[in-house]
């Protein structure tokens, strides 16, 4: 790929050759970051910690190739989104990506409405409605949960216990044990 065209942004493909993560990760970034060893930032709770650990302990398992170059960050993110959608990265077990790129967005949250006043108003509202920042709201929530908390209801506890017993079991080839997998969250128990 010719990088002499002065386009500062790119899409890239990171290939992981270990056995703890899926093989591929597609992202977009600044070309200089990628050329200086950047392999991507994984934010999903499923792979984030393993990704960071593997980058720290086994950086030789990662190789990154620039796919396309772009004049703006927005163009690069739009192309990244095209790759994500055309390859079905979110549903594919070959990709680490757990969300499609969102042009004009941050971590899957669209910022299409480019009105900073509206965004800051929304953030302020979230802070004032957040029980952790509003002592009165926190007291009301605490009182409500002490009365209506489903975890205080023996019928609810029993139904959750039964639901867990009915989860399908899988055999883990790593630890060689049968484990249960949740149909809703896909978490292994």
With tokens 């989104």, the residue in question is: 81
Q: Stretch 129-142: mean pLDDT, rounded?
A: 65
Number of independent structural domains in the chain = 3
10, 64 Cβ separation under 8 angstroms = no
Taking only the tens place, the pLDDT of each residue in 82-98 is 999 999 888 888 999 98
- From residue 97, how far is each of 9, 74, 84, 161, 179 by CA, in Å? 19, 19, 8, 32, 24
Residues 78 and 168 in one domain: no
Q: With respect to residue 169, please indicate whether it lies within any of the assigned structural domains.
A: yes
Residues 20 and 97 in one domain: yes
**pLDDT tier at 52 (50, 70, 90 boundaries)?**
very high
Taking only the tens place, the pLDDT of each residue in 13-30 is 999 999 999 999 999 999
For 121, half-sphere exposure in the C-beta direction (CA atoms, 13 angstrom radius) is 5
The pLDDT of residue 131 is 47
The pLDDT of residue 112 is 47
pTM of this structure:
0.56
Residues 28 and 100 in one domain: yes
Q: Which two tokens stand for residue 113?
A: 């409405």
Considering the chain, what is the average pLDDT of its residues?
Answer: 76
The pLDDT of residue 68 is 94
Residues 106 and 119 in one domain: no
Q: With respect to residue 2, please indicate whether it lies within any of the assigned structural domains.
A: no
Highest mean pLDDT among 43-52, 135-144, 145-154, 163-172: 43-52
In the chain, at which residue ranges do the beta strands (DSSP E only) sit? 9-16, 24-30, 62-70, 105-106, 109-110, 169-172, 177-180
């Amino acid at each position: 790929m010719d990088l002499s065209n002065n386009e500062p942004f790119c899409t890239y493909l990171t290939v992981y050759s270990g056995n703890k993560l899926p093989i591929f990760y597609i992202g977009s970034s600044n070309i200089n970051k990628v050329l200086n060893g950047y392999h991507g930032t994984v934010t999903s709770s499923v792979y984030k910690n393993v990704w960071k650990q593997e980058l720290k302990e086994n950086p030789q398992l990662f190789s990154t190739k620039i796919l396309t170059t772009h004049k703006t960050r927005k163009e690069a993110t739009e192309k990244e989104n095209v790759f994500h959608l055309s390859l079905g990265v979110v549903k594919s077990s070959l990709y680490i990506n757990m969300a499609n790129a969102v042009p004009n967005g941050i971590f899957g949250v669209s910022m299409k409405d480019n009105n900073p006043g509206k965004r800051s108003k929304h953030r302020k509202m979230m802070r004032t409605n957040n029980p952790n920042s509003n002592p009165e709201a926190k007291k009301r929530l605490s009182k409500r949960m002490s009365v209506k908390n489903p975890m205080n209801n023996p019928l609810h506890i029993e139904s959750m216990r039964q639901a867990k017993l009915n989860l399908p079991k899988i055999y883990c080839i790593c630890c060689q044990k049968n484990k249960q997998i949740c149909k809703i969250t896909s978490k292994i128990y």
